[in-house]
Amino acid sequence: MERKKKRINKKSAFKRVAVVAAAGLGIAAMLLAIYMWHLFTMIDNRFAARRWSLPSSVYSDAMLLYPGQALNTNLFFEKLRDLEYREVSGQPQRKGELRRSGAFWDVYLHDLVMPAKQREGFRVRISFQKNRIESIVRMDSLQQLPILELEPEPIMLLFGGNREQRQLVSIDQVPDTLKYAVLAAEDAGFYNHFGVDPLGILRALYKNIRYGEIRQGGSTLTQQLAKNYFLTPERTLRRKFKELFISLTLETMFDKNEILELYLNEIYLGQKGSISVCGVGEASVFYFAKPVEQLSLVEAATLAGLIKGPNRYSPYADPARCKERRNAVLQEMRRNGWITQDEQNDALTSPVKSAGYKTYGKKAPYFIDYLCEQLPELYSPEDLSSLGLSIYTTLDTQVQAAAESALEKGLARLEKSYPALKRKQADQQLQGAVIVMQPKTGYILAMDGGRDYAISQFNRITQAIRQPGSAFKPFVYLSALDRFSPSSLFSNEPKTYQINGKPWRPRNTHAPAEHGLRMRTALAKSDNLAAVDLAMKVGLKNIVDTAGTFGFSTPMSPQPSLALGAFEVIPLELARAYCTFAAEGVQPLCLSMKTVTDETGKFLEQRHMRIERIISPEKAYIMNSLLRSVVTEGTASSLALRGIDFPAAGKTGTTNDYRDAWFVGYTPDILALVWVGFDNGDSIHAEGAVAALPIWAELMRQLPQYASENWFRQPPDVISRVICAQSGALAVKGVCPEPIEEVFLSTNAPVDPCELHKAGILDRILKGIGYDR
Amino acid sequence: MTDKKRVWLLTFFLLIAIAASGCARVMIDPYARPLEKTPPKAKTEPAEATVKKTPSIEESHKPVVEKAPEKMFPIEEETLPVPKPAKPDPRALASLELTEQGRMLLEQGRVDEAMTVFESAVNLSPENGRNYYYLAEAWLVKGDLRQAREWNRLAELYLQGDPDWAKRVSSQKVKINGD
């Protein structure tokens, strides 16, 4: 009985243990299942959202080439280099190659991928005659091209915190050689294991012990993916454990090709400046300047070899070490039977070649800042750094380069001629700013908001508020056009005005007092006294109203000094206001962003130029004519000596104590504003014509493609009359000593003949009949 | 820099500026040259007619010495730009090429794309009035009459010398105002 009891007890004990063990196992299995389920949902969530953060790219406007175009060939070559064209000595064989040989350049164009526009790259021959394109011939069809569009240039990548750049590829794009090369380098048994490879670990362990150093890692591709994609880089047992389970989960969720695709897009493959090159798509462009589909066996083996230590084995860093590693990969491929002996032999001896690269420079940083100020209205910073958007802008990189160099040269030259302008501290140095616009469309072609972005990010075009001085006068004169005409006389005799009970005496820097100065001459010579005289006659309130319609956001009040530009403006708004003249009376909206597309090229946002009629085309024409005189006979006449041989209009500006120097100049095609001054308002001891105008001239000389003989069309309601230069009235033929032609609004052209020389008629009649008084 | 030095420097620059403006004046003073009237040229080929140049600044306020104003400047007959059959402006030709591309996009109903092309064409050659006409068309399609009206006005200004186009522009104007 006892024994029986004991046996039963023994049995029940065994049973109990078994039950407990089973329960334990069950619970463990359940916990594991829960853990795996947790991992599964975690992975699923990660993949359901975006797999990778792709930075958004900002592009310049596409450059257009056409026969007859004047070009600065140096700047053009720079442009092609920036577009990643590589110079070769022979005939270009691959996309992105360029050969310059004397009068013609052969270019194998890249594929053009733009919103709603795709073009396969082809070979063209661009022939030059002097600095002009003579013809553009498509080499495959020998067809003459009337116009050729180059690719927009990437000018900036908008990263988040990680600064990773990748071009995603699908597994179908990846050539077999690259797949095998990667497997040979990292995980030969990839297609046979289930996420972890116990044999591989043992093999690695054995090899490492045998050679006394770490020669092979035991991680499978899946484990590497788990580690890189889901985990932080520290090496702990817990992390290793997690990596194992993530790998197992990944293998249950995806098939091998999907895992390989994820892996190939994920891996870190090098460093381009401060940016990580990730994935084989980006890497094949970075190292070999070709899409991944076109990689050769040698290149594929090189890339695969990089995974182990991208910067150590980089062909850019150490070609010898790179070759050694590449050959190791090739041998491994041969061992696995993935390449033939002949292929291996050929590949082993081939030299290490790489394409060369340019780091993403920060081009046009002030422009980018201005652009980025507008973006938050549309996209959050997270979206911008992760959605891989393409942002197409109006920037013309050649104009930008010309603006930057003209500004730097001009400021350095000023400092050289006036040593007093030099400052010891970099952040207090003489500053300047340039904006270049297309007046009709409002496209901002270039913006340089300061001398050195690294030192000061303050954008003097969009953020500065400065007095415009005489550069404001056109708006004063414009206000007078209803009542007065370009031939109306204004006094430049010194006068005292009462402002709030205090006397104010405007002064001229250098101009003899005259009783009457015609409007044209007064503006051309930038006469202060005549401007104030005119302003008082027109009514200050009217001038404030005019300025209001031009969209100046800074406050102005009806005081006599308004006529001399004593109220501060934002340079960008001043440039836009001048665009109104150059655009026949319509004001364009300033445009910097044209199109935004998502990573698939779908339009998300499209902005078009918009115009608003501010003044009549007739008044605009008169203003253009008046401002043309500033250049031909006024304060900006030195432009001709500075090589500006095409018709241009403009206005200089200088403020009290020479705090600001301005020049705004334009043609029907292009408008540029230049400002020079100190941020703290120190005097620069020079006028607009001396400090700002040379920068404008230097800029324009570098842009022959914008120089033309074009001038504005005379609207039907603008009429020409011959007037007496002295009286401003209609000239009396043969009597008035200085008859000149003047343009008028048909509504207020002079009708009376010159009173001043009217008496001369009598003399002539008397002379005619032989009587000399 | 002492004040005295500054005065000297300024005087020096002033002198240079005066000398420079003097030289420039002698070289480019429009009033110093006699008026040359551009004789009306024979009608050019349609392709060339599109690249007519505007009257240059000299024509706009050129000196007149000899003739009486009334005879010199008959307003109505001669304010239309006189076509110059000189060498075709390459930019204008390239711009026209884009205009054609844009027109085709517009016909296919790809309005936004067409507008982007017309914008490039305007940037290339603001002289090319057809772009303004088509931009007005595009805004019409988009239903923005205000913009359509503005571009139509620019088209009117630039195409006034071309009877065929002027007709199209004015019927466009009717369309815009009639809607």
* Record: fold of A164-349: Penicillin binding protein transpeptidase fold (1.10.3810)
Q: Closest by alpha carbon to A581, among A471, A490, A696? A: A471
Share of chain B above pLDDT 90, in %: 36
Which residues in chain A have Cβ-Cβ distances shorter than 8 Å to B55? 711, 713-714
Task: Write down the pLDDT at residue A767.
Answer: 65
Mean of the pLDDT values across residues A409-429? 92
Per DSSP, which regions of A482-558 are E strands?
Answer: 489-490, 497-499, 502-504, 517-518
Whether residue A610 and residue B147 make contact (CB cut-off 8 A), yes or no, is yes
* Domains observed in chain B: 3-78 (no CATH), 90-178 (1.25.40.10)
> What's the pLDDT tens digit per position in A309-337?
888 899 988 889 999 999 999 999 999 89
User: Is residue A524 packed enough to be buried (19+ CB in 10 Å), middle (13-18) or exposed (0-12)?
Assistant: buried
Q: Do A664 and A672 meet the contact criterion of CB atoms below 8 Å apart?
A: yes
Which residue pairs from B113-116 have beta carbons closer than 8 angstroms and sit at least 24 positions apart in sequence?
A: B113/A115, B113/A116, B113/A117, B114/B138, B115/A608, B116/A594, B116/A595, B116/A606, B116/A608
**Which position has the higher pLDDT, B62 or A737?**
A737
Q: pLDDT-based confidence at A768, cuts 50/70/90?
A: low
Alpha-carbon span A127 to A65, nearest angstrom: 12
* Record: fold of A362-468+568-713: Beta-lactamase (3.40.710)
Lowest mean pLDDT among A217-221, A448-452, A595-599, B106-110: A217-221
The three-point CA angle A284-A46-A279 to 5° equals 5
Alpha-carbon span A17 to A20, nearest angstrom: 5
| ipTM of this complex | 0.76
Task: Write down the pLDDT at residue A766.
Answer: 65
Task: Write down the pLDDT at residue B15.
Answer: 63
Whether residue B54 and residue A710 make contact (CB cut-off 8 A), yes or no, is yes
Mean of the pLDDT values across residues A124-135? 92
A740 touches chain B (CB under 8 A): yes
Alpha-carbon span A324 to B121, nearest angstrom: 54
- Which of A420, A716, A722 is closest, CB to CB, to B64? A722
Sequential DSSP letters for A340-369:
-HHHHHHHHHSPP-----------SHHHHH
Q: pLDDT-based confidence at A580, cuts 50/70/90?
A: very high
Q: Is the pLDDT of residue A630 over 90?
A: yes
Task: Write down the pLDDT at residue A117.
Answer: 79
Q: Is the pLDDT of residue A506 over 80?
A: yes
Task: Write down the pLDDT at residue B30.
Answer: 37
Q: Is the pLDDT of residue A513 over 90?
A: no
Whether residue B66 and residue A443 make contact (CB cut-off 8 A), yes or no, is no
Average pLDDT over chain B, rounded to an integer: 68
Task: Write down the pLDDT at residue A575.
Answer: 97
Mean of the pLDDT values across residues A713-731? 90
Lowest mean pLDDT among A13-22, A195-204, A224-233, B32-41: B32-41
Alpha-carbon span B53 to B57, nearest angstrom: 11
Lowest mean pLDDT among A2-11, A603-612, B65-74: B65-74
Average pLDDT over chain A, rounded to an integer: 88
- Describe chain B by its helix, strand, coil percentages, rounded to 5: 70, 0, 30
> What's the pLDDT tens digit per position in A210-243?
765 545 566 888 888 888 888 776 667 777 788 8
Q: How distant is the Cα of A573 from the closest Cα of chain B, in angstroms?
A: 20
> What's the pLDDT tens digit per position in B159-169?
988 999 999 99
Find the catalytic residue in A60, A219, A314, A470: A470
Which residues in chain B have Cβ-Cβ distances shorter than 8 Å to A722? 64, 69, 72-73
Task: Write down the pLDDT at residue A137.
Answer: 95
Measure Cα distances from A144 to A135, A141, A452 in Å. 7, 9, 43
Which residues in chain A have Cβ-Cβ distances shorter than 8 Å to B151? 611
* Record: fold of A57-158: Penicillin-binding protein 1b fold (3.30.2060)
The residue among A59, A60, A396, A609 with the most chain B CBs within 10 A of its CB, best to mutate, is A609
Q: pLDDT-based confidence at A285, cuts 50/70/90?
A: confident
- Which of A586, A594, A710 is closest, CB to CB, to B150? A586
Q: Do A673 and A578 meet the contact criterion of CB atoms below 8 Å apart?
A: yes
Clarify whether A742 is annotated catalytic.
no
Alpha-carbon span A400 to A419, nearest angstrom: 28
Task: Write down the pLDDT at residue A760.
Answer: 61
Task: Write down the pLDDT at residue B74.
Answer: 37
Mean of the pLDDT values across residues A121-129? 94
A521 touches chain B (CB under 8 A): no
Clarify whether A470 is annotated catalytic.
yes
Measure Cα distances from A348 to A174, A287, A329 in Å. 22, 19, 10
Q: pLDDT-based confidence at A94, cuts 50/70/90?
A: confident
Task: Write down the pLDDT at residue A639.
Answer: 94
Q: pLDDT-based confidence at A556, cuts 50/70/90?
A: very high
The residue among B5, B18, B21, B93 with the most chain A CBs within 10 A of its CB, best to mutate, is B21
